[in-house]
Amino acid sequence: MIRGLVIREAKPDDHDGIAALVEAAFGQPDEARLVERLRKDGDLVLDLVATNETELVGHVAFSRLRIEGEDGRFDAVALAPMAVMPDRQRSGVGISLIENAHHMLQEHGEALSVVLGEPAYYGRFSYTHDRAGGFESDYQGEALQALAWGTAPRSGRLIYPTAFSGL
């Protein structure tokens, strides 16, 4: 864990730094463009940064995800992307971002989060493919995982924001 780590909501003057951080973490600009488009389209539900002193060291975004099923439409969130500066990875920044985000999302009444990512990593936060396996999705597979904090559908079609179609 990094001493002095602060997790807070992103501000407009963080946007350029977030783009640089996300591009550095992923080694290419696609995910940084995703964040920018989600922000521009108004689809971000939660946009957090991690700072250490004045340095931006991590970022996580949660966007609005819709589930369409037999019982109608249900609002959920999609975790994507989560990024940590390469020289700060494996130091607890990502864990702190996700744990803080989950707490904030629950406080705001969110009941379900979906992620497309490494099962071993996201499993430590209780995301499972079993919870996401009943959903129809263009991304269906072992990497599609979900975490429920309350009553939420177990099936239906996952409708991601338009920005994801650019990936």
pLDDT attached to residue 1: 55
Whether the CB-CB separation of 84 and 93 falls below 8 Å is answered with yes
Q: Which amino acid is at 7?
A: I
Beta-carbon-side half-sphere exposure of residue 83 (alpha carbons within 13 Å) = 26
Domain boundaries, the chain: 5-166
Q: Please, which residues bridge with residue 77 across strands?
A: 64, 113
Burial class of residue 167 in the structure, from the number of CB atoms within 10 Å of its CB (0-12 exposed, 13-18 middle, 19+ buried): middle
Report the C-alpha gap between 151 and 89 in whole angstroms.
34
Question: What DSSP character marks residue 79?
Answer: E
Report the C-alpha gap between 29 and 44 in whole angstroms.
19
Tell me which residues of the chain have a pLDDT lower than 50: none
Considering the entire predicted model, what is its pTM?
Answer: 0.94
pLDDT attached to residue 54: 87
pLDDT attached to residue 4: 84
How large is the C-alpha radius of gyration of the chain? Answer: 15
Domain 5-166 class in CATH = alpha beta
Report the C-alpha gap between 18 and 10 in whole angstroms.
9
Whether the CB-CB separation of 63 and 161 falls below 8 Å is answered with yes
